A and B are shown apart, each in its own frame.
Chain A
Amino acid sequence: MTRTPEHTVIVAHQFENLEQQFDADLLGMWLFLVTEALLFSGAFLALAVYYHQYHDTFSAAARELHWLLAGANSVILLTSGLAVALAEQAADQGRRRAALLGLLATIALGLVFLAIKGYEYHSEYQAGLMPFLQQPFAYDGPNPHNAMLFYNFYFVLTGLHAAHMVIGLAVLMVIAVLTWRWRDGARVARQVRIAGLYWAFVDIVWVLVYCSLYLVGR
């Protein structure tokens, strides 16, 4: 295990040592993820309540979604999760190139995910399943009014997730630049680790979004 030499280590003024700073950063990020988890759980709760009330209509509506395409997207996102985990490991061991490679792979996979998601949205727009943007709702299954509620949640949940992806990608890009520069190894390792935690969380949310919107109704 190679470590960066001690003389490059900089501890922020409020901390006594690097361990303390690392513990604080990690705990802070985990607490932030708790808030994110509760944020999503509010939307999932609303979906669950309506699923309970309109089970058959929601299931029928869910069958219109591109579940195989989204399944492929799940594979892409899980792969990016592996890539960032390996990047964290590499950064921790002081392997700059491997860390950078892992981060770039993560970013690339994230962009592919968003592109596929965009294609999905586009095809749903063309099929008239977007109940806004001045478009008539062209769903021809049973109880179109309640089905509209399902699509609203589909767009809200996937949209919230996509927004988190965009934030995550922006963070990863900044971290990639910092990794490329590699000023202070311990610090870079910490930053990659924190960003990786966020990305893994975005993965988790997608697993739940995919399961509850695409699979539960089938």
Chain B
Amino acid sequence: MSRPRHDRTPASATGRFVALYVVLLVLLAANMAGTLLSLGPWAIPARLAVAAGMVAVIATTFMRLRQGTVLVRLVAVMSLLWILFLFVLTFADFLTR
């Protein structure tokens, strides 16, 4: 069972953490500033997309999914898939009433 661990963080990772932290703050600011624009029907998709981007940054960087094993990444994808099942099939009802 002994195999090299790929998720050990080298010291240089500090720089990447800080850089992506700044990216997160920029995304947050952009999302807040976006409320001042009138985007019409695109407002909600745009805000959710920016939030999804923030989630992706946190998951891949702070939670180290990028360096994670295939199995752990599969688990993360699985949760998204099941949330999709929940939303798609429930809205299949509410959107077609």
Contact = CB atoms under 8 A, between A and B. Distances in A.
- In their complex, do chains A and B touch, with some C-beta pair under 8 Å? yes
Interface of A: 1, 16-17, 19-20, 22-23, 26-27, 30-31, 33-34, 37-38, 41-42, 45, 48-49, 52-53, 67-68, 71, 74-75, 78-79, 81-82, 84-86, 88-89, 92-93, 196-197, 200-201, 203-204, 207-208, 210-212, 215-216, 218
B58 A200 contact: yes
Majority SS of interface residues in chain A?
Answer: helix
A22 B3 CA distance: 12
Q: What range describes how many residues of B lie at the interface?
A: 35 or more
Interface of B: 1-3, 5, 8-11, 13-14, 17-18, 21, 24-25, 28, 31-32, 34-35, 43-44, 47-48, 50-51, 54-55, 58-59, 61-63, 68-69, 71-72, 75-76, 78-79, 82-83, 86-87, 90-91, 94-95
**Most chain B beta-carbon contacts within 10 A, residue among A34, A37, A86, A215:** A215
B3 A49 contact: no
B21 A30 contact: no
Contacts, number: 125
B28 to A, nearest CB: 6
Top-7 shortest CB links A-B: A211-B51, A218-B35, A34-B79, A82-B21, A200-B62, A41-B83, A85-B62
Contacts of B47: 211, 215-216
B50 to A, nearest CB: 8
Nearest to A31: B75
Given A17-B1, A30-B75, A74 B8 contact: no
Contacts of B8: 1, 92
Contacts of B14: 86, 89
Contact of B24 (A52, A78, A92): A78
B63 A201 contact: yes
Contacts of A86: 14, 17
Given A23-B69, A31-B75, A38-B79, A45 B86 contact: yes
Contact of A49 (B17, B21, B83, B90): B90
**Most chain A beta-carbon contacts within 10 A, residue among B34, B35, B76:** B35
Nearest to A63: B35
A85 B87 CA distance: 31
Contact of B28 (A52, A71, A93, A208): A71
Nearest to A93: B11
Contact of B58 (A49, A88, A207, A216): A207
Nearest to A68: B32
Contacts of A207: 51, 54-55, 58
21 contacts: A16-B1, A17-B1, A19-B1, A30-B75, A31-B75, A33-B79, A37-B79, A41-B83, A41-B86, A45-B86, A49-B91, A52-B95, A68-B32, A79-B21, A88-B9, A89-B13, A93-B9, A196-B62, A207-B58, A211-B47, A212-B51
